[in-house]
Structure 1
Amino acid sequence: MTSRTSELLRRVQESEGAPTLIVRAEQRGGAARGELELVTSRGERLPPRRVVARTCTEVTAALALALVLAMEEGALKSAPKEPPPEPPLEPVADSAPALPIVRSPSPPSPSPPRRPDKAAGPPRRTVTSMGAHVVVVEVQGLALGASLFSELRPPFLEGRLALRIEGAVWQRSVSREAGQADLSWLVMRARLCFTQTLGLSLALCGVGEGGAFSSSATHALNPVSFTGPWVGAGAVMSAGFRPLPRLGIEIEAGILVPFTRDDVILRPNNVLYSTPAVVTWLAAGPILHFD
Structure 2
Amino acid sequence: MRWQHTAATGPAAATLALMLTLAPDARAQPDARAQPDAEPLTLAYEAPAGCPDATAFFGQVTARTTRVRAPSRGESARAVHVRVTKNSGGFLGHLHFEAGGQKSSPRAVEGATCHEVVEALGLVAALAVDPSASTAPVAPASPSSPSSEPAPAEPIPTPEPASVPTPAKSAESAESVESVESVERGPVPAPAGAAPAPRAPQRGTSGATRLGVGVALEGSSLAGFVPAWRIHGELVLWDGALLSPSFRAAVGRSFLVTREAAIGSADIDWTVGAVEGCPVRFALTSSGRLELRPCAAFTVGAIHAEPFGVVARRARSRAWLAAEALARLAIRPVQILSIELDAGLSVPFTRETFFFEPGIDVYQAPSAAIFGRLGVGVRFR
TM-score by length of 2: 0.44
1:268 aligns with 2:358: yes
Contact 1:223–1:266 under 8 Å retained in 2? no
C-alpha separation between the residues in 2 aligned to 1:253 and 1:205? 10
Change (3 A) 1:209 1:115: farther
1:283 deviates by 0.7
Match of 2:213 among 130, 153, 163: 130
Q: How does 1:85-124 map to 2 (within 5 A)?
A: 111-114=139-142, 124=207
1:261 deviates by 2.1
Aligned to 1:141: 224
1:115 deviates by 6.8
Amino acid at match of 2:141: P
1:195 aligns with 2:278: no
Greater length-normalized contact order (CA 8 Å, ≥ 6 residues apart): 2
C-alpha separation between the residues in 1 aligned to 2:311 and 2:281? 52
Deviations 1:96-117 (A, max 9, x none): xxxxxxxxxxxxxx9511578x
In the alignment of these two chains, the number of paired residues is: 179
Amino acid at match of 2:266: A
Deviations 1:183-219 (A, max 9, x none): 1111111111022221311110011111111111133
C-alpha separation between the residues in 2 aligned to 1:218 and 1:133? 31
Match of 1:208 among 288, 294, 298: 298
Specify every segment of 5 or more residues in structure 2 that has no aligned partner in the other structure, as ranges.
Answer: 1-137, 145-202
C-alpha separation between the residues in 2 aligned to 1:178 and 1:161? 50
1:168 deviates by 1.2
C-alpha separation between the residues in 1 aligned to 2:327 and 2:353? 29
2:216 partner SS: strand
Amino acid at match of 1:191: E
Change (3 A) 1:271 1:114: farther
Change (3 A) 1:251 1:115: farther
Deviations 1:43-80 (A, max 9, x none): xxxxxxxxxxxxxxxxxxxxxxxxxxxxxxxxxxxxxx
Deviations 1:77-106 (A, max 9, x none): xxxxxxxxxxxxxxxxxxxxxxxxxxxxxx
Amino acid at match of 1:142: F
Match of 1:182 among 243, 246, 267: 267
C-alpha separation between the residues in 2 aligned to 1:160 and 1:266? 50
Contact 1:222–1:266 under 8 Å retained in 2? no
CA RMSD of aligned residues (A): 2.4
C-alpha separation between the residues in 1 aligned to 2:295 and 2:237? 16
Contact 2:327–2:342 under 8 Å retained in 1? yes
1:260 deviates by 2.0
Aligned to 1:152: 235
Change (3 A) 1:212 1:114: farther
Larger radius of gyration: 1
Deviations 1:143-191 (A, max 9, x none): 1110001111123993611111111111311122211101111111111
Aligned residues with identical type, % of pairs: 22
Change (3 A) 1:125 1:256: same
Deviations 1:13-65 (A, max 9, x none): xxxxxxxxxxxxxxxxxxxxxxxxxxxxxxxxxxxxxxxxxxxxxxxxxxxxx
C-alpha separation between the residues in 1 aligned to 2:240 and 2:380? 19
Aligned to 2:245: 161
C-alpha separation between the residues in 1 aligned to 2:309 and 2:371? 28
1:126 partner SS: strand
Instruction: Give the 4+ runs in structure 1 shifted more than 6 A.
Output: none
Specify every segment of 5 or more residues in structure 1 that has no aligned partner in the other structure, as ranges.
Answer: 1-109
1:233 deviates by 0.8
Match of 1:229 among 319, 323, 326: 319
Deviations 1:209-257 (A, max 9, x none): 1111111113324323111111111201110112233222111012111
C-alpha separation between the residues in 2 aligned to 1:278 and 1:287? 27
Quick check: which one's strand share is greater? Answer: 1
Contact 2:209–2:238 under 8 Å retained in 1? yes
1:139 partner SS: coil
